[in-house]
Each structure stands twice: as structure tokens, then as C-alpha cells.
Amino acid sequence: MFLLDFRCYSRFSTSIVFGCALVFLTGLLGCSGEKIEYQANFLHAASVMSDSDEPEIRSTARQASQATTELLGPIDAPEWPADIESVVDMDKVRRSAGPVGRDKSKVENGLFRKHCVQCHGLSGDGFGPASALLAPYPRDFRRGSFKFKSTPIGRKPTHADIVKTLENGLPGTAMPAFRTLNESEEFAKDVDALAHYVRFMAIRGELERRVLVALANGDSQQGHPDLLSRVANDWREADSYAIAVPEWKTLSETELQGSIARGKELFQSELTACAKCHGGNADGKGISQDYDDWTKDWTIRAGLDPANKAEWKAMKKYGALKPVLDPARNLHLGVFRGGATRQEIYTRLVVGIEGSPMPAVARKQNDNPGLTEENILDLVEYVLSVSSLPVSGPAPTREVKDERSL
């Protein structure tokens, strides 16, 4: 009859006070154990060293991570070698890295851990705490591949591409739009700083992968600065590969209907093969059963079948998440993650979506079959016509000023 005896509540309340004190002490003791450091790329090591045993795989991955850290600094204090021209603004990188909080001058630091780490993970590996529950999985920056950009497949995204994804988010995914940050003077520079840090993490991750492959092949540990120079150079050239989007003419209703009809014909033709994945009705019910490159990286390229659990399960201990198919979009939903304006859909068609099964359209060159500029514009009109979205005008452009003219 504990609860019936009113006097027992004095003991009850005393217990609460003791409980609070215990929790307080536990907190104080437990707080000192939070060790934050880059996670070595065990998964890539396992995929390139498939014949090695687990201790060797882990040891090589740690060596690669250590060698990369020696060049680019620890996670809380990133740095750039003085003898290599930087492609990121290190002041902004340092501001985005490290723990969350304001310093004495009220400048906010730790932007990545505040906004991104929950999904993308401390190392930008896409293995944040929440990652396993998300669809699609958060992006692993370490391959240096980004889906929505204005440069061709195989080229790095421009700084403006990353800023755009950060500002607009990706509809239907867990990637938020940080446009609200830019609306505040206080946070106006945060998105730009985060974009620099994303580039830094991508460079670091790619360097680590290359060092890892070099170590796995028994190469000398010398020459890592050269590897960094090569990776950095790819990023430096990104702007020069950005495609030009044509001016959009205002079409009359008759012209528009004609364009849509031609676009539909192209969509269903063998030339574009759009219907193969998206379905003849553009409802996403094609025959495509493919995975994205981030999954293929540690499955198919390592000789594992992602559809066979008995095979890929062995990679779980290295951090692998369950492989999931990368389905073609149902265009009737009107969801265009890379943007829903004509210009943005044109860009998607011309450069494709890197890392996904969505290829770039084949362009007509000389006698080679492919699409002309007019064909692509017709396809854009058809895609917009089947979506339930109101047809939108040109994308609002916002010049991203990079003070270092990278």
C-alpha cells in the first residue's frame, strides 16, 4: 500500500533528490569521454582488399586515415598544406568544423555538427546516427560525387551547385532547405561556409580513398601531397565545366502543345530510352532495378551481389547499410530534386544525375544519333506537362560570391 500512505511521499521526494544528484554526478563523469575523430573508411578498405583478413583491412584503413589527417589536420582543427594552392576558404572550413557554440565574440562555430552531422556523420561518410532510417540514405561525400550539379558526370560540382542544394534542400528526402538561414543577416554566411566545408570533406575523403588504394597496392606512403594536388585540381576546374543553359523562348499555346507531343514521342523512343526506367506513362514503373554508385562501390565493384544478403552481409561489420534500389522517379508527382524549373530540368537531362542510374542524354554529334538542342527542349516541356506542378518560370538566380574567386 505504498501509494496509499501519504507520508511515504517524503521518502519518495527524497529519492527523487538523490536520483537527480546521482544523474548529475553520472553526467559529470560521463562527459569527459566524448572522443571525436574522423572515422576511417573501413568499407572502402574492405571492398578494395577483399582478399585480406579483417585486422589487415582495419589496419590499412586506419593508416590511410592517419596519413590524410597528417595532411589536412584533425577533425576539430582542419588545415591545408602551405605548399598546395587551396581550393577552399580555410577560415570558413574551420568555422564549420569543430563543436557547436559561439565564441566570446559571438561568432557561431561548428555549423556542420549543428545542421548536418545527424545524417551525414562526423566524417561526411553518410553514416550519421539517423542514416539507416532514411530513404534515400544521406550522401557519402568521400567519393567526391554529387548528384545535382551543373557539370557533366565525372566532374566536380561548382561551389554554386552545393550552395543551391543547401539552400533549396531536396524534396521528399531528409535533406533540409537552409534558405531560412540566408533570410537572416546573422546566418547569411553560414550556407556559404558550410558549402566550403562540404567541399573540404569531399576532398579529404577522396584523398583518403586514394591513399588507401595506394597502401593496399603496397605503394610507398610518400607522394600523398601529389594525390592531394590532383584531387584539389579537379575541384579547381569545376567551374569551367559548368554547362550553359539556353535562353527560353515564350511559346504560344499551339507551339507548346506541339513541343509536348514531340517530347512525348522522344520520351517513349529507343533513342532516349527514358521509358525504360520511368515507364511509358512516366509513372516510374519501368523495368529498372539498379543501385546507386555509392552502393555499387562496395558491392558490385567488390564482387558482391547487392541483392544477395548472404553476400553483402559480410560488409555490415565495416559499416555498410542495407543496399536499396535507386528507383526511377514517378514524374507525375512533380518531384524534381534538382529543381523544377525548365532550366533545372534541362540541366538534369544534359548532365544526368551522377552516381544514379539516370544518365545524361546522348547529344547528336556529326553522324552519331542523339538529341538536338530542340529535342531536349521538347523533352523538358513533356516532363513538365506530365508533372502535377504548375509550370514554373526560370529559376531565380542568386550569385554566390566567393571571395577567393575559386
Partner 1 sequence: MSEACEPRSHLVYGWAWLVACLTFPLIWLGGLVTTHDAGMAVPDWPGTFGYNLFLYPISTWVFGPFDLFVEHGHRLLASLVGLLAIFLCWFAYKYEQRRWARMVCYAFLGAIISQGLLGGARVLLDARTAAMIHGCTGPLVFTLGCFVVMACSKDWYEARPVPISKGLRRVAVALFLFSIVQLFLGAQLRHSQPTWIPSFFMSIVHTHLTMAMIILGLILWVFAIVRRNPNRQVVELRAPSSMLVAIVIAQVALGFATWVANYATPWMELTPWLARYTVQGKGFWESMIVTGHQATGSLLIVCSLWLTCRISIRGRVIEDKLVERKAIEDGEQIVSTTQPSLMVVGENG
Site for partner 1 in 151-170 (CB under 8 A): 168-170
**Nearest approach, Cβ of residue 3 and partner 1 (Å):** 4
Selected from 56, 79, 85, 99, the binder of partner 1 by CB under 8 A is 99
Stretch in the footprint of partner 1 (CB under 8 A) among 107-115, 215-223, 272-280, 358-366? 107-115
Burial class (CB within 10 angstroms; exposed 0-12, middle 13-18, buried 19+) of 193:
buried
* Binding of residue 77 to partner 1 (CB under 8 A): no
* Binding of residue 396 to partner 1 (CB under 8 A): no
* Strand-pair partners of 101: 109
Selected from 217, 388, 397, 405, the binder of partner 1 by CB under 8 A is 388
CB closer to partner 1 out of 26 and 372: 26
* Chain centroid offset of residue 18 CA: 47
**Residue 319-348 contact track with partner 1, rule CB under 8 A, x = bound:** x-x--------x--xxx-------------
How many residues touch partner 1 (CB under 8 A)?
74
Q: Name residues contacting partner 1, limited to 30-49 (CB under 8 A).
A: 30-32, 34-36
Please state, in angstroms and rounded to a whole number, the distance separating the CA atoms of residues 332 and 382: 11
Please state, in angstroms and rounded to a whole number, the distance separating the CA atoms of residues 309 and 212: 26
Q: Name residues contacting partner 1, limited to 114-133 (CB under 8 A).
A: 114-115, 117-119, 121-122, 127-133
* Binding of residue 188 to partner 1 (CB under 8 A): no
Residue 368, number of CB atoms within 10 A of its CB: 8
**Residue whose entry in the numeric block shows the C-alpha cell 522517379:** 329
**Nearest approach, Cβ of residue 366 and partner 1 (Å):** 41
* Binding of residue 108 to partner 1 (CB under 8 A): yes
Selected from 152, 176, 258, 359, the binder of partner 1 by CB under 8 A is 176
Please state, in angstroms and rounded to a whole number, the distance separating the CA atoms of residues 149 and 347: 8
Q: At 109, is the secondary structure helix, strand, or coil?
A: strand
**Nearest approach, Cβ of residue 45 and partner 1 (Å):** 17
CB closer to partner 1 out of 168 and 259: 168
Q: Name residues contacting partner 1, limited to 265-324 (CB under 8 A).
A: 284, 319, 321
Please state, in angstroms and rounded to a whole number, the distance separating the CA atoms of residues 211 and 228: 9
Burial class (CB within 10 angstroms; exposed 0-12, middle 13-18, buried 19+) of 202:
buried
* Strand-pair partners of 310: none
CA angle 122, 126, 41 (to 5 degrees): 75
**Nearest approach, Cβ of residue 22 and partner 1 (Å):** 10
* Strand-pair partners of 363: 371
Q: Where are the alpha helices (DSSP H) in 73-110?
A: 90-96
Please tell me the total number of residues recorded for the chain in this structure.
Answer: 406
Q: Which three cell numbers stand for residue 385?
A: 506537362
Q: Name residues contacting partner 1, limited to 198-227 (CB under 8 A).
A: none
Angle, helices 373-386 vs 253-267, to 10°: value is: 100
Stretch in the footprint of partner 1 (CB under 8 A) among 152-160, 171-179, 229-237, 393-401? 171-179
Selected from 16, 307, 362, 391, the binder of partner 1 by CB under 8 A is 16
**Nearest approach, Cβ of residue 24 and partner 1 (Å):** 5
